[in-house]
Structure 1
Amino acid sequence: MSRNKYKYLLLAIATVMLVWQFFTSSVMAAETTDEATRTVQLNDKEKVVLSSKEIAKGKKLFQNACATCHVGGATFTNPNVGLDPETLALATPARNTIAGLVDFMKNPTTFDGVEEIYDVHPSMRSTDIFPTMRGLTDKDLKLIAGYILQQPNVRGIGWGGGKIYY
């Protein structure tokens, strides 16, 4: 009977440790990043330093609204167009800033900027088709954009690398 007590005790300890890892690892990783890692381009002229809480919230929002098609910054429907800064800078208009990405999430266009694609890409204009966009505020969009732009500073070339890395 005492052997069963030890088994349950060990099981309880293992469960607590596992739960702790699930709920603290990502936040603690964000807290340990330095200011340079948390600095992203706000617009063409300004940069902004994101807080650890902003990164964590942006990650959560990204996972809920975007990660289905953009795992690891890749693009499921077109692996040649990722969310890495180099690719985002080549878009028309450029999307390698928080302002550029927020504009895209409100009014998405093709990579060359010629056609609107809100009927096939989640956006604030298509919340009836893409319910995950419902309830997102401008602040939420900025947090998502900040998270997207901050990830290359953490993950390096793996972010947005597409099928090469995933």
Structure 2
Amino acid sequence: MLKQKIWLSLACASLAGIMFSSSVHAIELDEATRTVPLGESGKTIILTAEQVKRGKRLFNNSCAQCHNGGITKTNPNIGLELESLSFAIPARDNIKSLVDYMKDPTSYDGATSIAELHPSIKSAEIFPKMRNLTDEDLFAIAGHILMQPKIAAEKWGGGKIYY
């Protein structure tokens, strides 16, 4: 009987732990965190909870293999942190420009198409994960990328130092 009570207590404690940790992950991000630049005009947009969730899932499925933690495995000098995104030509520090990039990527200086090297809608026949992504999906992925500096701070795009 004592063993049963101990096992029951352990099971209840374990279940409570699971429920508590789930609720921590379910906390919704505030509007300031979900506010990201929409375009070059300085306008912003507040991402919905669904866009945040979708962006994270799609980024992890389609982009994280090469950009885990916001780094770029093929070139650790250029990450997905806002500084690198803003110095690209054209700047890729807003939703519109990131969506354009995911549709038809160019080199960091904007001079050359890299669609055959970088997954994109243009190269979906080479990169199958890109085939079914809609404009809404690309919007959500871009939102995820732009929110991460607010969530992960210096770790996002931090390269070998943090990962």
TM-score range with shorter-chain normalisation?
A: 0.7 to 0.9
Pairing 1:122–2:119 present: yes
Measured in 1, the distance between the counterparts of 2:115 and 2:12 equals: 49
What corresponds to 2:26 in structure 1? 27
What corresponds to 1:90 in structure 2? 87
Kindly provide the amino acid, as one letter, of the partner of residue 41 in structure 1. P
CA drift at 1:24: 4.8
Aligned residues: 162
* Runs ≥4 residues deviating over 6 A: none
* CA 35–19 in structure 1, closer or farther in 2 if over 3 Å, else same: closer
Pairing 1:80–2:85 present: no
Q: How does 1:78-157 map to 2 (within 5 A)?
A: 78-157=75-154
Where structure 1 has 5 or more consecutive residues not aligned to the other structure, the ranges are none
TM-score, normalised relative to structure 1? 0.86
Q: What are the Cα deviations for residues 42-92 of structure 1, in whole angstroms up to 9, with x where unaligned?
A: 001111111222211111111111111111111111111000111101101
What corresponds to 2:10 in structure 1? 10
Measured in 2, the distance between the counterparts of 1:19 and 1:117 equals: 46
Where structure 2 has 5 or more consecutive residues not aligned to the other structure, the ranges are none
> Which segment drifts farther, 152-161 or 91-100?
152-161
Measured in 2, the distance between the counterparts of 1:37 and 1:129 equals: 35
* CA 59–15 in structure 1, closer or farther in 2 if over 3 Å, else same: same
* CA 26–132 in structure 1, closer or farther in 2 if over 3 Å, else same: farther
Measured in 1, the distance between the counterparts of 2:139 and 2:85 equals: 16
SS in 2 for 1:48: strand
Overall identity of the aligned pairs, in %: 48
Q: What are the Cα deviations for residues 9-30 of structure 1, in whole angstroms up to 9, with x where unaligned?
A: 6347526744773x554432xx
